[in-house]
A and B are shown apart, each in its own frame.
Chain A
Amino acid sequence: MRKSRPESGQPTEQELYEFIGEKIRELRGKSRTQEDLARAMSVTPNTISRWETAVYKPSPAELDRLARYFGVGIWSFFPASIKPPTQAQHALLSATGDLPAEDLEELQRYADFIRARKSLKGAKGGRVSRGKT
């Protein structure tokens, strides 16, 4: 029987990857098969299946690619208990003109990626901590 999704508190590494697996399955939905997703991610369908059952652990870079493919933020794959409060990332920029929305989104994605990577790294050493802002 599958373990229940952690609703509160800090999940363990296994709980975290089970949550991620469920989220991948949920986002894939019924309209896309594991083969479709595998093709888009350039991995085998077996890998998708194992991500969804938390046998394999997707890397932060793979989560980022999944997030881009599904058109969501990387934090969509994390339980609410470890998501940092929503806040725009501050940055000092060198730009060649007024910033288009997609550039701002890319900068936010980068900051989210760094924090998510840290959370996954932290999960290996014990309980996951909430990302700071």
Chain B
Amino acid sequence: MNRGAYYEEIKALARTKRDEYSVTTAAIGLALVRDIYRDEGITLTKCPHKLRKVRAAYFIIDGEPHVLVNGRLPIEPRLFAECHELKHHYVDQHLARDGSLACQDVAWDSAPVEEVGAEVFAAEFIFPEAEFRDLLQQLGLAHTGWTISQVVELKRQCPAPVSYQFLTKRLEWFGLIQAGQFAGVQWKVREEQIYGPPLYKRLLARRKASLSSQGLPRRRS
């Protein structure tokens, strides 16, 4: 089977699993994925120690599946990483058991098909391509020539908890933007420039202002 056919099969698996667990794009989140892990008998552990490059890892330890997820990841990448490991559970358990793909062997530059497949699975599981296309149609954004503010707008309208990286990868995949077109963009900064600071930052600023007007010291966080 060639790579393309393999990835299509993986996407179909992701949709099947979504149906099996009645997953909807608007409802998907860490709690829902945690329930799926419980149903699948996978022990999910948030790593309390520093992991520099690892987002998550799938192990078979004494015959039982375990996932260790980097506890320092923000919500969106963490959700993606947990869905990525779900694919390993469904498809690649034998690799974790027999050690044919050991951690020492993995290099990102030469990502094995199983790893790319897991990325494809996670993307389809969280936000299916068909729904993504529908959203682009609804927003009138199914075109080339994207600007930064349009990507920010897409992120704000997106019902799925996905990162800017996810969205730009998808747009690249659909051929709507060029590879690396938005590399190096500080998305959160741009978002704040367009829409102002988020609520939590405004509340924090208001609190700081209130404390300093009363002459009280700011509490260190």
Q: Which one of A91, A97, A109, A131 has the greatest number of beta carbons of chain B within 10 Å?
A: A91
Min distance, Cβ B122 to any Cβ of chain A, angstroms = 9
Contact of A90 among B50, B59, B108 (CB under 8 A): B59
Hey, which chain A residues are within 8 Å of B102, CB to CB? 88, 90-91
Contact of B54 among A88, A103, A111 (CB under 8 A): A103
Q: A94 and B115: CB pair below 8 A? A: yes
Hey, which chain B residues are within 8 Å of A131, CB to CB? 62
Q: A90 and B103: CB pair below 8 A? A: yes
A89 at the interface (CB under 8 A from B): yes
Question: In the bound complex, how far is the Cα of B67 from the Cα of A114, in angstroms?
Answer: 11
B12 at the interface (CB under 8 A from A): no
Q: A98 and B81: CB pair below 8 A? A: no
| Closest CB pairs A-B (n = 9) | A90-B99, A92-B58, A94-B55, A92-B88, A91-B57, A90-B102, A94-B84, A132-B62, A95-B53
Hey, which chain B residues are within 8 Å of A1, CB to CB? none
What interface size band does chain A fall in? 20 to 34
Q: A92 and B96: CB pair below 8 A? A: yes
**What residues of chain B have their CB less than 8 Å away from a CB belonging to chain A?**
43, 45, 47, 49-63, 66, 68, 81, 84-85, 88, 92, 95-99, 101-104, 106-109, 114-115, 118
**What residues of chain A have their CB less than 8 Å away from a CB belonging to chain B?**
88-100, 102-104, 106-107, 109-111, 114-115, 118, 131-132
Q: A93 and B57: CB pair below 8 A? A: yes
Q: Which one of A89, A93, A118 has the greatest number of beta carbons of chain B within 10 Å?
A: A93
Q: B55 and A95: CB pair below 8 A? A: yes
Hey, which chain B residues are within 8 Å of A96, CB to CB? 53, 55, 108
Hey, which chain A residues are within 8 Å of B58, CB to CB? 91-93
Hey, which chain A residues are within 8 Å of B55, CB to CB? 94-96
Q: Can you give 14 contacting A-B residue pairs, CB < 8 Å?
A: A89-B61, A90-B60, A90-B97, A91-B102, A92-B58, A95-B108, A102-B52, A104-B104, A106-B54, A107-B54, A107-B103, A109-B49, A111-B66, A114-B62
Hey, which chain B residues are within 8 Å of A88, CB to CB? 99, 102-104
Hey, which chain B residues are within 8 Å of A103, CB to CB? 51-54
Question: In the bound complex, how far is the Cα of B101 from the Cα of A104, in angstroms?
Answer: 14
Known: A89-B103, A107-B103, A132-B63. 16 other contacts (CB 8 A): A90-B97, A90-B98, A90-B99, A92-B57, A92-B88, A92-B95, A92-B114, A93-B54, A94-B81, A95-B54, A95-B55, A96-B55, A97-B53, A98-B107, A114-B59, A114-B62
Question: In the bound complex, how far is the Cα of B106 from the Cα of A103, in angstroms?
Answer: 12
Q: A99 and B84: CB pair below 8 A? A: no
Contact of A111 among B51, B61, B85, B99 (CB under 8 A): B61
Which partner residue on chain B sits nearest A132 by CB separation?
Answer: B62
Q: A110 and B62: CB pair below 8 A? A: no
